[in-house]
Amino acid sequence: MASTSTIATQCLGYTPIPVALLSADEVPAVDLYRKDSETGRLRLYRAANLPMQPEDLQRLIESETNWLYATDIDHDEMQRFIRRKLDVLIRDETLSLRDRFGKLNQVVEGLLTSAFQTNDTDEVMRSAGNISSLAVRLLCRDDMAAGDLISLLHHDYLTVTHSLNVSYMMVALARDLRLVGNDELTAVATAGILHDIGKLSVSERILTKNDRLQRREQRVAQKHPALGFRRLGKRTDVSYAQLMVVYQHHERTNGKGYPVSAVGDEIHPWARLCSVVNVFESLISNRPYRARYSLNEALSMMDQHLSDGLDQEMYQCWKQSIRKK
């Protein structure tokens, strides 16, 4: 066990534990840390041998503390705890589908953020696989329509939020198109989470710039598909289809995409699927340099010119699915 010093300097080296998954009768028997709102440092909140009272959890909720942290020495134990609690959440029929998906999305967004911050591809892959299998179980319900899904998503432009949204949309569209069997939807969801993994190798200054990128900066940003390909290309736990999503999601059927101006069927079907929802998600999310467009505005812009080079069958199917709500 790491030292129980009351201050830790940063969140790297710590596993986030969602407060929403804690209950007074079941708290992990590990030291738990809380982030100081002023300094951002982690302070010991509860030692492993101390019980958690219901009023303690209530105070955390009232103070809008959504996360506690355990040292990475306890990482595997915490991952098992979180997975088990999320399984219970997904099966909880006393909660509405909206409430379950909302809680799931809040938790997995934080977990994936933590994995991305480590810049550890192994950790990102583990998190992506776990998150995908959980999300698909909710997304494949008959009462989860694409229009409903859009209203449940967060719309702040961060690489993690964007990747999760694209992942969920890819699953919804793949189901509507019957592009793959249900047994492959988890792999599709994982591909969506990984599609921008190359951005881990791009400067945060470029990714979060408040103005439109200059030409030189655009060229740097446009390297992310190739950077992602290099990061994942030799892994045995990434399929060819998933790798093509990472490499080709900015290609266009008319040859006007990047990184190699592939055309038509040279672009893998999963990558064409990702391209459609990637453009749509980018429009309906806040960007550093502009506010998000409404759903109708986004579809109108895509109809006018932004769908050029996208797979038209996939785009028309997506548009119909969205307009059902």
Which tokens sit at 217?
A: 């900066």
Report the distance separating Cα 165 and Cα 139, nearest Å.
12
Rg (CA), the chain: 20
* Tokens 């909302």, residue located: 102
Q: What is the DSSP string of 121-137?
A: HHHHHHHHHHHHHHHHH
User: Among candidates 200, 199, 174, which has minimal Cα distance to 188?
Assistant: 174
Which residue, among 52, 34, 53, has the nearest Cα to 43 in the 3D structure?
34
Task: Give the C-alpha separation, 287 to 264, whole Å.
Answer: 30
Catalytic residue among 199, 223, 319, 324: 199
Q: Quickly tell me which residue has 């041998």 as its tokens.
A: 49
User: Other C-beta atoms within 10 Å of 15: how many?
Assistant: 23
209 is catalytic: no
CA distance 165 to 153: 7
Closest by CA position to 78, among listed 29, 20, 118, 9:
29
Active site residues: 199
